[in-house]
Chains A and B, each alone.
Chain A
Amino acid sequence: AQTVTQSQPEMSVQEAETVTLSCTYDTSENNYYLFWYKQPPSRQMILVIRQEAYKQQNATENRFSVNFQKAAKSFSLKISDSQLGDTAMYFCAFMSQYNNNDMRFGAGTRLTVKP
Protein backbone atom coordinates (compact mmCIF):
# COMPACT_ATOMS: atom_id res chain seq x y z
CA ALA A 1 0.00 0.00 0.00
CA GLN A 2 1.11 3.50 -0.71
CA THR A 3 2.39 5.57 2.19
CA VAL A 4 2.75 9.32 2.50
CA THR A 5 5.29 10.86 4.85
CA GLN A 6 5.40 14.43 6.08
CA SER A 7 8.56 14.69 8.14
CA GLN A 8 7.92 18.14 9.61
CA PRO A 9 5.23 18.01 12.31
CA GLU A 10 5.45 21.76 12.90
CA MET A 11 6.88 24.76 11.09
CA SER A 12 6.73 28.50 11.46
CA VAL A 13 7.43 31.41 9.13
CA GLN A 14 7.38 35.17 9.37
CA GLU A 15 4.67 37.00 7.52
CA ALA A 16 5.69 37.82 3.91
CA GLU A 17 8.45 35.20 3.94
CA THR A 18 8.58 31.95 1.96
CA VAL A 19 8.24 28.48 3.46
CA THR A 20 8.49 24.98 2.00
CA LEU A 21 6.65 21.97 3.38
CA SER A 22 8.01 18.53 2.59
CA CYS A 23 6.19 15.40 1.46
CA THR A 24 7.50 12.07 0.26
CA TYR A 25 5.53 9.04 -0.82
CA ASP A 26 6.08 5.43 -1.67
CA THR A 27 4.54 3.80 -4.73
CA SER A 28 5.42 1.48 -7.59
CA GLU A 29 2.86 3.07 -9.90
CA ASN A 30 3.83 5.26 -12.81
CA ASN A 31 0.80 7.52 -12.88
CA TYR A 32 -1.09 8.94 -9.96
CA TYR A 33 -2.32 12.22 -8.48
CA LEU A 34 -0.87 14.20 -5.61
CA PHE A 35 -2.68 16.84 -3.57
CA TRP A 36 -2.03 19.40 -0.88
CA TYR A 37 -4.94 20.22 1.40
CA LYS A 38 -5.10 22.97 4.00
CA GLN A 39 -7.04 22.58 7.27
CA PRO A 40 -7.37 25.91 9.13
CA PRO A 41 -8.59 26.12 12.74
CA SER A 42 -12.17 25.81 11.45
CA ARG A 43 -11.12 22.26 10.46
CA GLN A 44 -12.63 22.52 6.98
CA MET A 45 -10.32 20.75 4.51
CA ILE A 46 -9.57 22.99 1.53
CA LEU A 47 -7.77 21.96 -1.64
CA VAL A 48 -4.61 24.00 -2.16
CA ILE A 49 -3.08 22.43 -5.24
CA ARG A 50 -2.97 19.18 -7.22
CA GLN A 51 -0.49 17.53 -9.56
CA GLU A 52 -0.79 14.65 -12.01
CA ALA A 53 2.32 12.51 -12.02
CA TYR A 54 2.82 12.29 -15.78
CA LYS A 55 2.84 16.08 -16.15
CA GLN A 56 6.38 17.37 -15.90
CA GLN A 57 5.44 20.96 -15.20
CA ASN A 58 5.06 21.85 -11.55
CA ALA A 59 1.58 23.06 -10.59
CA THR A 60 1.09 26.60 -9.32
CA GLU A 61 -1.87 28.39 -7.76
CA ASN A 62 -1.18 32.04 -6.99
CA ARG A 63 1.24 32.06 -4.02
CA PHE A 64 1.33 28.26 -3.82
CA SER A 65 3.57 26.10 -5.96
CA VAL A 66 4.93 22.60 -5.82
CA ASN A 67 8.29 21.02 -6.51
CA PHE A 68 7.44 17.60 -7.90
CA GLN A 69 10.40 15.27 -8.16
CA LYS A 70 8.99 12.02 -9.54
CA ALA A 71 12.17 9.97 -9.39
CA ALA A 72 12.74 10.98 -5.80
CA LYS A 73 9.03 10.56 -4.97
CA SER A 74 8.96 14.00 -3.47
CA PHE A 75 6.17 16.56 -3.59
CA SER A 76 6.96 19.70 -1.61
CA LEU A 77 4.72 22.75 -1.24
CA LYS A 78 6.14 26.26 -1.40
CA ILE A 79 4.15 29.15 0.02
CA SER A 80 5.39 32.56 -1.06
CA ASP A 81 4.60 35.86 0.65
CA SER A 82 3.12 34.02 3.63
CA GLN A 83 0.00 35.54 5.15
CA LEU A 84 -1.53 35.16 8.59
CA GLY A 85 -4.44 33.32 6.98
CA ASP A 86 -2.06 30.60 5.83
CA THR A 87 -1.80 29.38 9.43
CA ALA A 88 -3.22 25.85 9.27
CA MET A 89 -2.47 22.15 9.13
CA TYR A 90 -1.30 21.09 5.69
CA PHE A 91 -1.83 17.56 4.46
CA CYS A 92 -0.18 15.89 1.51
CA ALA A 93 -2.25 13.17 -0.19
CA PHE A 94 -1.71 10.47 -2.81
CA MET A 95 -4.36 9.05 -5.14
CA SER A 96 -3.67 5.80 -6.97
CA GLN A 97 -4.69 5.36 -10.60
CA TYR A 98 -5.94 1.89 -9.68
CA ASN A 99 -8.11 2.94 -6.78
CA ASN A 100 -9.15 6.53 -7.18
CA ASN A 101 -11.53 6.28 -4.25
CA ASP A 102 -8.75 5.71 -1.75
CA MET A 103 -6.66 8.76 -1.01
CA ARG A 104 -3.70 8.25 1.31
CA PHE A 105 -2.91 11.18 3.59
CA GLY A 106 0.23 12.13 5.42
CA ALA A 107 0.10 12.99 9.12
CA GLY A 108 0.20 16.71 8.39
CA THR A 109 2.42 19.71 9.07
CA ARG A 110 1.20 22.45 11.38
CA LEU A 111 2.25 25.80 9.92
CA THR A 112 2.18 28.99 11.95
CA VAL A 113 2.63 32.33 10.24
CA LYS A 114 3.97 34.91 12.68
CA PRO A 115 3.28 38.63 12.36
Chain B
Amino acid sequence: DGGITQSPKYLFRKEGQNVTLSCEQNLNHDAMYWYRQDPGQGLRLIYYSQIVNDFQKGDIAEGYSVSREKKESFPLTVTSAQKNPTAFYLCASSIMTSGWGETQYFGPGTRLLVL
Protein backbone atom coordinates (compact mmCIF):
# COMPACT_ATOMS: atom_id res chain seq x y z
CA ASP B 1 0.00 0.00 0.00
CA GLY B 2 1.25 3.49 -0.85
CA GLY B 3 1.46 6.00 1.90
CA ILE B 4 3.45 8.09 4.30
CA THR B 5 4.97 6.60 7.42
CA GLN B 6 6.30 8.46 10.42
CA SER B 7 8.28 7.06 13.30
CA PRO B 8 8.32 6.87 16.17
CA LYS B 9 4.72 7.48 17.20
CA TYR B 10 5.91 8.93 20.53
CA LEU B 11 9.31 10.46 21.25
CA PHE B 12 10.78 11.74 24.48
CA ARG B 13 13.55 14.30 24.53
CA LYS B 14 15.84 15.18 27.38
CA GLU B 15 17.16 18.67 27.91
CA GLY B 16 20.01 19.49 25.55
CA GLN B 17 19.39 16.48 23.36
CA ASN B 18 18.88 16.41 19.60
CA VAL B 19 16.23 14.02 18.34
CA THR B 20 15.31 12.96 14.82
CA LEU B 21 11.82 12.25 13.51
CA SER B 22 11.54 9.97 10.52
CA CYS B 23 9.27 10.48 7.50
CA GLU B 24 9.16 8.10 4.55
CA GLN B 25 6.81 8.04 1.56
CA ASN B 26 6.37 5.53 -1.26
CA LEU B 27 3.95 7.63 -3.29
CA ASN B 28 6.70 8.88 -5.64
CA HIS B 29 5.85 12.41 -4.55
CA ASP B 30 8.33 15.17 -5.32
CA ALA B 31 7.62 17.55 -2.46
CA MET B 32 7.71 16.84 1.26
CA TYR B 33 6.79 19.02 4.23
CA TRP B 34 7.08 19.19 8.01
CA TYR B 35 4.40 20.86 10.12
CA ARG B 36 4.07 21.49 13.81
CA GLN B 37 0.68 21.34 15.55
CA ASP B 38 0.10 22.88 18.97
CA PRO B 39 -3.15 22.63 20.96
CA GLY B 40 -5.79 25.09 19.77
CA GLN B 41 -3.77 26.07 16.73
CA GLY B 42 -3.63 25.06 13.13
CA LEU B 43 -0.59 23.56 11.48
CA ARG B 44 2.50 25.67 10.99
CA LEU B 45 5.14 24.96 8.36
CA ILE B 46 8.64 24.18 9.59
CA TYR B 47 10.49 23.13 6.40
CA TYR B 48 9.67 21.90 2.93
CA SER B 49 11.57 20.30 0.08
CA GLN B 50 10.63 20.18 -3.59
CA ILE B 51 13.56 18.11 -4.84
CA VAL B 52 16.37 16.00 -3.47
CA ASN B 53 19.20 17.91 -1.81
CA ASP B 54 17.16 21.12 -1.64
CA PHE B 55 14.90 22.43 1.12
CA GLN B 56 13.45 25.74 2.27
CA LYS B 57 12.56 27.22 5.64
CA GLY B 58 8.97 27.71 6.64
CA ASP B 59 7.61 30.11 9.25
CA ILE B 60 9.06 28.39 12.30
CA ALA B 61 12.35 26.79 11.17
CA GLU B 62 14.44 28.03 14.10
CA GLY B 63 15.69 25.14 16.22
CA TYR B 64 14.99 22.55 13.52
CA SER B 65 17.03 21.03 10.70
CA VAL B 66 16.21 18.70 7.81
CA SER B 67 17.89 16.75 5.04
CA ARG B 68 16.63 15.32 1.74
CA GLU B 69 19.17 12.81 0.51
CA LYS B 70 16.54 10.53 -1.06
CA LYS B 71 13.25 11.34 -2.73
CA GLU B 72 11.43 9.01 -0.33
CA SER B 73 12.83 10.37 2.93
CA PHE B 74 12.69 13.71 4.74
CA PRO B 75 13.88 13.42 8.36
CA LEU B 76 13.44 16.28 10.81
CA THR B 77 15.91 16.93 13.62
CA VAL B 78 14.74 18.86 16.63
CA THR B 79 17.87 20.45 18.04
CA SER B 80 18.63 21.62 21.57
CA ALA B 81 18.15 25.16 20.28
CA GLN B 82 14.40 24.53 20.05
CA LYS B 83 13.32 25.61 23.53
CA ASN B 84 9.71 24.51 23.34
CA PRO B 85 9.64 21.33 21.26
CA THR B 86 6.63 19.66 22.86
CA ALA B 87 4.12 19.35 20.02
CA PHE B 88 2.61 17.02 17.44
CA TYR B 89 4.67 16.83 14.25
CA LEU B 90 3.12 16.00 10.91
CA CYS B 91 4.90 15.12 7.70
CA ALA B 92 3.20 15.56 4.33
CA SER B 93 3.98 15.05 0.66
CA SER B 94 2.59 16.08 -2.71
CA ILE B 95 3.30 15.66 -6.40
CA MET B 96 4.49 18.67 -8.37
CA THR B 97 3.23 17.92 -11.89
CA SER B 98 1.25 21.13 -12.36
CA GLY B 99 3.47 23.32 -10.26
CA TRP B 100 0.88 24.35 -7.71
CA GLY B 101 -2.40 23.48 -6.15
CA GLU B 102 -1.51 19.87 -5.54
CA THR B 103 -3.07 18.24 -2.51
CA GLN B 104 -0.80 17.49 0.41
CA TYR B 105 -1.18 14.04 1.96
CA PHE B 106 -0.24 13.52 5.58
CA GLY B 107 1.44 10.87 7.66
CA PRO B 108 0.10 9.70 11.05
CA GLY B 109 2.30 12.08 13.05
CA THR B 110 4.83 11.93 15.88
CA ARG B 111 4.12 13.21 19.38
CA LEU B 112 7.25 14.77 20.92
CA LEU B 113 7.44 15.26 24.67
CA VAL B 114 10.18 16.81 26.76
CA LEU B 115 11.31 14.97 29.91
Contact = CB atoms under 8 A, between A and B. Distances in A.
Nearest to A47: B103
Contacts of B28: none
B78 interface: no
Given A101-B31, A102-B45, A95 B100 contact: yes
Contact of B42 (A9, A33, A50, A106): A106
Interface string A48-64: 00101000000000000
A105 B99 contact: no
A100 B108 contact: no
Nearest to B106: A45
B50 interface: yes
Nearest to A105: B42
B56 interface: yes
Interface of A: 4, 9, 33, 35, 37, 42-47, 50, 52, 91, 93, 95, 97, 100-108
